[in-house]
Amino acid sequence: MSSPVTRPLRFLRRTLGPLVEPAVFDFWSRELGSTASRSRIQARVVAKRAESARAVTLELQPNRRFEGFLPGQHVNITVEIDGRRVTRSYSLTGVPREDDRLSLTVQQVEGGLVSGHLYTDCRVGDVVELGAAFGEMTLPEILPFKLLLLAAGSGVTPLMSLVRELAQRGMPVDTTLVYWARHRADLCFVPELKALAAREPKFNLRFALTGDAVTGTDELRGRPSRELLADVAPDLSERAVYACGPAGFVAEVELLARTQARSFQSEAFTPPVFAPVESQSEVTLMLAKSNRVVRVASGQPLLAALEAQGIKPPSGCRMGICNTCACGKRDGLTRNLKNGGENAEPESNLRICISSAQSDLTLDL
Amino acid sequence: MNTPDRKLSPAEIESFGAELDALRARIVADLGEKDAKYIKNIVRTVRYTEVAGRGLLYAGMFPPAFVLGSVLLGFSKIVENMELGHNVMHAQYDWMNDPELNGQTYEWDTSCTSDNWRKTHNYEHHTYTNVMGKDHDIGYGVLRLYPEQKWEPRFLANPVMALILMTFFQHLLALQSLELERIVGAKSKEQRKTELARVKKDIKPIWKKMRKQLFKDYVFFPALAGPFFPIVFAGNVAANLMRNLWSSAVIYCGHFTEDAEVFPIESLENETRGHWYLRQMRGSSNFTGTKLMHIMSGNLSHQIEHHLFPDIPGRRYAEMSVEVRRICEKYGQHYNSAPMAKQFLGVWKRIFRGALPNKPTRFKAAPAANVERAEELVAA
Ligand SMILES: Cc1cc2nc3c(=O)[nH]c(=O)nc-3n(C[C@H](O)[C@H](O)[C@H](O)COP(=O)(O)OP(=O)(O)OC[C@H]3O[C@@H](n4cnc5c(N)ncnc54)[C@H](O)[C@@H]3O)c2cc1C
């Protein structure tokens, strides 16, 4: 349908659009200090504050490419460290706002690349790249059951977002949050949570410490156990449970609560560990674009291994120079056969002719 | 001709390759912020000089503005094509994970489509460097540069052809993958017909990119100048000509110099990594010059290092060249390097010599061995 008005406009966009490449547009936008982009979600860090002895909260102002989120969801954030762009997931801790501003809370991980960067080096004014929000641990419109939120460490972040949403909705159901940390000083959002608990009779708050002695009435001691759960939620069978934390914690509380609770939803934060397989064993390759799964021997050049399975990805020199065979790697551990280096990070251009799988992999093929 | 290369034993060839591998590993491990900053500054240089150049052309009725505008625009195109586009497309900056500097998706500011370039240049030319019958860059199908190439009457036009190629480099490079000479050389009517059909199909994406480039430089930007269309048009012609002459000169100097060698197709049989390095070295030549010349050549002034390590950022070649030269000396291999003017003169000697027939020449002894490529890497 082209009206007399849209036709010339469309003509202009068709003829002029290609003259300003997205990369050129984005370049000048950056030079002018803007985060505007033709296709990418860029966000500026507009505030940074300490949230605990080991965590900082960052507030981000994304550009118009960000399409919103639901409380409880996460985003991938990409930062540049020593010239390389690295991506990790972080949960959004706030509720959606009129001005689209986002907040996330990052806990420093010992020797952590991205958490260390965000905690120490990242400054107000820096620009980071975001992905679209993802995650299923969200609240339904209607809340048929009471809630039990179980958080451990930095796993509190998406649950904090849910608590804030509940507060905004006037705490429609009885909600209990149990929040584990080793030390009191590691706890995040304490003043806000305490104030909410004081204000909202339907919101119960317990901090569970594994490393410090208990002092306050809202504190508990010890790791998750049947007794502890019975104490904080004797009515567990009437509650929907949301749990978030390291993989070990999530597995533990799932075992304790899943069968009794009304429902059980969880998210684990610990990054997958790509256990290197023994030499000469088999690994599974997920070919994401063609939706295929193949088993190949580890340690073999991926290109040759795929070809042996009758799959013919584009290729050229077969010696790692022409880049024809390069494809995206979403996850998994690979080894560069030319220099022996191993890489567990996702990559946009893995040269499969000189790389071997050292664990199961997902490839953009 | 310089002192001939020392003949190496298989063990020597292997350790020659191992030393180059070690050099490569050392530089790869050191890539980081400095390299990222450098390439981003190159992007900045390209963008700012383009805007300044195009801007000045609009004041082009004032002769100094016309000259400066054309030169800046030409400079911008040169740096974009050489240090930015060519190098990024070699995946030199893929380790940065920056989608704007991605070797597989970057599209450069010239007629040749990046996809064709990645095939003819990254794959064919870099894998089969100077192998007769495999590397189309040996004369691009229109020039006769080596006595090993068969003489045909059409090569009498060698010098004229070389000049035409330089002048219209961007468009002729774009057409390179079509291998148009195959139509001329067709032996039968049938064959000519198949060749024509092939060209007709393959030319579509090329023509699309060419059209876009021609429209941008010769219609769109001049039209913005209204009555001064011819001035801006002329400025764009001058800038493109400057880029064409310079980049073709740089490329001629990389493989067509006096001491560069070509290899028979048999040399590829069972070629080891060490042999491959050796062939890259013997087929390439460096030229010396100022820092600006290195940047404007996309560091192809270090053609040898580029051919040994095509995916390592060009800015590293200068420091690597010290080590490569040392390794060459150690193994008694000639390191082909001379001032640009001298290398260019050598190229023209070849161009004139190639115009006339000569006695059949035999290839110099070519490297060969007996291990397979990717499979050999595993064993390493
Ligand atoms: C969906 C999702 C949401 C997340 N949300 C948050 C969030 O809101 N806040 C937050 O701080 N983190 C969150 N994370 C964890 C975050 O993505 C990173 O894994 C974490 O910041 C560590 O990254 P790094 O680059 O600093 O560490 P790396 O350099 O990747 O790892 C360094 C070392 O630390 C170990 N390590 C990595 N992550 C953890 C961890 N979480 N706990 C213990 N050891 C670890 C690694 O095994 C490695 O040995 C989330 C993860 C997921 C999957």
Instruction: Tell me what the mean pLDDT of segment A37-49 comes to.
Output: 96
pLDDT confidence band for A95 (50 / 70 / 90): very high
| DSSP tag of B311 | T
Nearest CA to ligand 1 atom 13: A90
**b or e along B344-358 (b: 16 or more beta carbons within 10 Å of the residue's beta carbon)?**
bebbeebbeebbeee
> What is A149-268's CATH number?
3.40.50.80
Residue A244 makes CB contacts below 8 A (sequence gap 6+) with A91, A137, A150, A151, A152, A155, A156, A157, A158, A159, A250, A266, A267, A268, A269
A146-152 vs A327-331, strand pairing mode: unpaired
Note whether B102 contacts A348, CB cutoff 8 Å: yes
Question: How big is the CA angle at B65 (ends B62 and B69), to the nearest 5 degrees?
Answer: 140
Mutate to test the interface with A, among B373, B375, B376 (most CBs of A within 10 A): B373
Instruction: Tell me what the mean pLDDT of segment A265-283 comes to.
Output: 77
Q: How far B97 CA sits from the closest chain A CA (Å)?
A: 5
Query: Which chain B residues are within 8 Å of A40, Cβ to Cβ?
Result: 99
pLDDT confidence band for A12 (50 / 70 / 90): low
Q: How far B99 CA sits from the closest chain A CA (Å)?
A: 8
Residue B200 structure tokens: 């007709």
Residue B239 structure tokens: 């800038």
Query: Which chain B residues are within 8 Å of A353, Cβ to Cβ?
Result: 374
Asked if the ipTM is above 0.90, the reply is no
Instruction: Tell me what the mean pLDDT of segment A123-150 comes to.
Output: 96
Using the Cβ of A321 and the Cβ atoms of chain B, whether some distance falls under 8 Å is answered with yes
Residue B119 structure tokens: 């095939």
Nearest CA to ligand 1 atom 24: A112
Q: Which residue ranges make up each domain of chain B?
A: 10-379
pLDDT per residue as tens digits for the range A226-237: 999 999 999 999
Residue A273 phi/psi, 5-degree rounding, is: -95, 120
CATH class of the structural domain A282-363: alpha beta
Whether the predicted pLDDT of A216 surpasses 60: yes
d(CA B151, CA B137): 17
d(CA A162, CA A95): 8
Those residues of chain B that have pLDDT short of 70 are: 1-4, 364-380
Mutate-to-test residue for ligand 1 from A88, A128, A249, highest number of ligand atoms within 8 A of CB: A88
pLDDT at B2: 55
Question: How big is the CA angle at B292 (ends B291 and B298), to the nearest 5 degrees?
Answer: 95
Using the Cβ of A326 and the Cβ atoms of chain B, whether some distance falls under 8 Å is answered with yes
pLDDT at B358: 86
Q: How far is CA A143 from CA A134, A139, A170, in A?
A: 21, 8, 12
Question: Which of helix, strand or coil describes residue A118?
Answer: helix
d(CA A342, CA A358): 8
d(CA A313, CA B57): 47
Query: Which chain A residues are within 8 Å of B277, Cβ to Cβ?
Result: none
Say if CB A161 and CB A103 are below 8 A apart.
Answer: no
pLDDT at A17: 61
Residue B190 structure tokens: 């049938």
pLDDT at A308: 87
Q: What radius of gyration do chain B's Cα atoms show? A: 21
Q: Which residue ranges make up each domain of chain A?
A: 15-130, 149-268, 282-363
pLDDT at B168: 94
With a CB-CB cutoff of 8 Å, which residues 27-86 of chain A face chain B?
Answer: 27-28, 31, 40, 78, 80, 82-86
d(CA B325, CA B319): 11
pTM score of the predicted model: 0.88
Report the CATH fold assignment for A15-130.
Answer: Elongation Factor Tu (Ef-tu); domain 3 (2.40.30)
pLDDT confidence band for A351 (50 / 70 / 90): very high
Query: Which chain A residues are within 8 Å of B28, Cβ to Cβ?
Result: 339, 341
pLDDT per residue as tens digits for the range B311-343: 999 999 999 999 999 999 999 999 999 999 999
Residue A278 structure tokens: 């023994």
Say if CB A363 and CB A346 are below 8 A apart.
Answer: no
A74-81 vs A55-62, strand pairing mode: unpaired
